[in-house]
Structure 1
């Protein structure tokens, strides 16, 4: 047994998990918080610029989602190499992920120069909002290579269990951009363009910092197509999984809209709180990815299984804490988002389902991280697609057919969560997920 394997149980202590999860949480929260600042700054320019950022920002959010896929796919592979005691090979995974990220980022940037106008007109319809959004998007898209390089950098650094450098590499540029944005928009007189430039500065600087960290490791930077192909397979499965989630939540919003403005408003309040809880719980999943990958790379399947149980319990505890806060805020929180009595009333229809799901979701998100760290992504893909097609989507469209309102929609989300929870727990009972070794067979 290697030294890494001998220390797996020790590094999987709650303190070690928190040491990985808390910096990851700050990294996860940095971009959404910056978007809030950007929105507030642009909002004072008027209705059209604000709508333009909303449209263009939707496209850039999809690019950031691609970055998350790259990061998650890289973490488990790097962690296995690291757990096997080969830091150089772990970093080499980051090199190949960075080539993949750079290629996709350049394609996005070029595509937005050519097709940004057509895309914004498709989203917003012809008019001044689409034109303003196209101008913003063409500039903002130049930050796509940096954005995706930063995602790849997060992936390999998490794999070698370094979450402190990513913290500064993401937080520093975002803070700089938060200061730069209002200066460029107002005193410099760039208006909406200033917002896009501030985005590009932050993303490019962040990507450059991660590349510098890669270069400092003194490994070969030559692209290796075979490794990139393996990473593309992981990314493909994570993308399909993500599409299933997106289709489910878009359908839920579409059904809620058919119940009226108050219903879709109430749904939006609760679903955004759900996404916020998912953001926080994802930090625990990221820690699980790094630690499980390292344990399996060190041939310590017992340690990986012990860690899976530990993070599941921590996930339940964190989800339970959120549930307690949600119960305490029942009469207060919906009112913070809307003064409309009808909207608040509809939010409270979904509220009991939201509260009840939080502890279950804590376990599900933690175990998602375990299986991603183990490289068992194909199972997660199949589970998510099956749960969406066999549970969530039929339930919410039945809610529409039988006029069950938001309660029916959120019962569908509960069903989706329960299906995933049961399937994940059953998966942990077999050996197929915990395959030891520096790499997982394809």
Structure 2
């Protein structure tokens, strides 16, 4: 009886094995009709459009790996019950085999089929996806970097225009506006840069998490016959955006009050006595500029939010429109209305509020600006991470200020030459800083998803671009810096000192480029604590050199200390990336194999 029941299935199975020489077909057929159709569709999708599938992201086309495994496992059980009810009972009764042994053997067979099938899928998509993945990362970074570079260059150019217009009023007005602008910029950098960097990372992380939730809910709607995901795009409600905006308003009001009522105190700290002819115009200029502090802080926070959305074009357009208005108002208010330095301050403040209003209007189309519940805000993590970056910014400002003070002690000619070298040195860093900001946004988005494969691609490409940019800038400045310096001064003695600093300006560019790149990488994985701690250590070492080297080498000692400062920043970044215990542990692993084995 048992042999009779077994003869037909065995003959059918023999013919099936002869007919199915492809091992992948055997695996799919063994899973049963319902699941084999899904697997075949997944494989057919891969064969038709390999460029859309990445080895790490196959789950996006197979509706996530966990759903696939659930889909694979349940039909196998159904398959066993559907095809072997009579054979199973008769086989156990006639052969005397225990039912648990049959269950164990089938479970082991099922696991082997699933594991082999997954390996086959990853093997199919691996080669083509890695190439398309790299191309998409490179193009996305370039698309983000170019507008970011334009946006960072707009405001410095506007400040140059403002300086040129004020310079026509006379040396007293120019000097008073210069002192006030320096105070405003120091206070702004101290608080605003941390908020900008933290907002970029946290918003990118929130968007990625929100996208994963929407993808999961969208799949459930499709299963239940609902509307497909993405049919209607709604405004995002993200706590990180509301937190960043509220903090920006609070910090902006604090800065405005401090600069307005403490303008005299700050000018005293800068060494500007009440008897100086520069005192009154400087105090009036700083008090007016203080009114624009809330707009400046808010606009920087909004730039961080847009970077989190991986959008650097919108901020660049808003900055362009607002600053164009300032350039238009400068001559009208300063000369036609005869407001002088006061007119320059009014034009600048007006443009800052125009920029902020344009950014808020654009962001309101994408996101809900204020949360329905205050408990959803993330003040704790913002303050903690911002505190780390506040300490880091203090270390940078103190080191750079110490370098300037040591250059002042070398005399007016040396100070003038140092100022020219320093401005060129910092201005060209905008190229790599824009690349670092774009890399930060992409890394934060991918890292929060656990897409370590893409993070590795971003890191490798950004570092290669940083090295290429640094070397290119070194060669260009080395060949042209002597001629470029004549744009800033015609004094032959100053030009002679400037030309002696060409090695400092040009040779340090690769260090500068990689130092800024590593900052963006640290922020992308929210490694704010290491960024702050390493910067404090680097600042202490560099400050010690700046204190003693100028007494032996003069102005060369100042440039030596600043070059060491950037070199140590670069070294600290390399050390962190090479560590196997920090957030970059996955850089040391073959992540494609890890995914397959998992």
Aligned twin of 1:125: 273
- Verify the 8 A CA contact 1:371 1:433 in the aligned structure 2: no
Unaligned runs of 5+ in 1: 437-442
C-alpha separation between the residues in 2 aligned to 1:195 and 1:330? 31
Shift of the alpha carbon at 1:432?
A: 1.6
Equivalent runs, 1:133-212 vs 2, <5 Å: 133-212=282-361
**What TM-score comes out, normalization by structure 2 length?**
0.68
Aligned twin of 1:414: 563
- Verify the 8 A CA contact 1:312 1:362 in the aligned structure 2: no
Which has the greater radius of gyration?
A: 2
What's the Cα RMSD here? 2.5
- Verify the 8 A CA contact 2:243 2:377 in the aligned structure 1: no
- Verify the 8 A CA contact 1:252 1:409 in the aligned structure 2: yes
**What TM-score comes out, normalization by structure 1 length?**
0.91
Shift of the alpha carbon at 1:263?
A: 2.2
Q: Pick one of 234, 259, 267 that aligns with 2:410.
A: 259
Equivalent runs, 1:340-379 vs 2, <5 Å: 340-379=491-530
Unaligned runs of 5+ in 2: 1-56, 65-128, 215-234, 587-598
1:219 aligned counterpart, secondary structure: coil
Aligned twin of 1:393: 543
1:324 correspondence with 2:475: yes
2:518 aligned counterpart, secondary structure: helix
Shift of the alpha carbon at 1:196?
A: 1.4
Higher relative contact order (CA 8 A, sep 6+): 1
Q: Pick one of 163, 175, 178 that aligns with 1:54.
A: 178
1:432 correspondence with 2:582: yes
Aligned length: 434
C-alpha separation between the residues in 2 aligned to 1:312 and 1:289? 12
Moved more, 153-162 or 113-122: 113-122
- Verify the 8 A CA contact 1:91 1:156 in the aligned structure 2: no
Shift of the alpha carbon at 1:171?
A: 1.1
Shift of the alpha carbon at 1:130?
A: 1.8
Shift of the alpha carbon at 1:258?
A: 2.5
C-alpha separation between the residues in 1 aligned to 2:334 and 2:440? 40
1:82 correspondence with 2:245: no
Shift of the alpha carbon at 1:298?
A: 1.5
Residues 297, 411 of structure 1: CA spacing in aligned structure 2 closer, same or farther, 3 A cutoff?
Answer: same
1:84 aligned counterpart, secondary structure: helix
C-alpha separation between the residues in 1 aligned to 2:273 and 2:136? 52
Moved more, 55-64 or 316-325: 55-64
Aligned twin of 2:239: 92
- Verify the 8 A CA contact 2:134 2:457 in the aligned structure 1: no
Deviations 1:279-332 (A, max 9, x none): 222101111110110110111123212211210110111111111111111431
Q: Pick one of 380, 383, 387 that aligns with 2:531.
A: 380
Aligned twin of 1:239: 390
2:149 aligned counterpart, secondary structure: helix
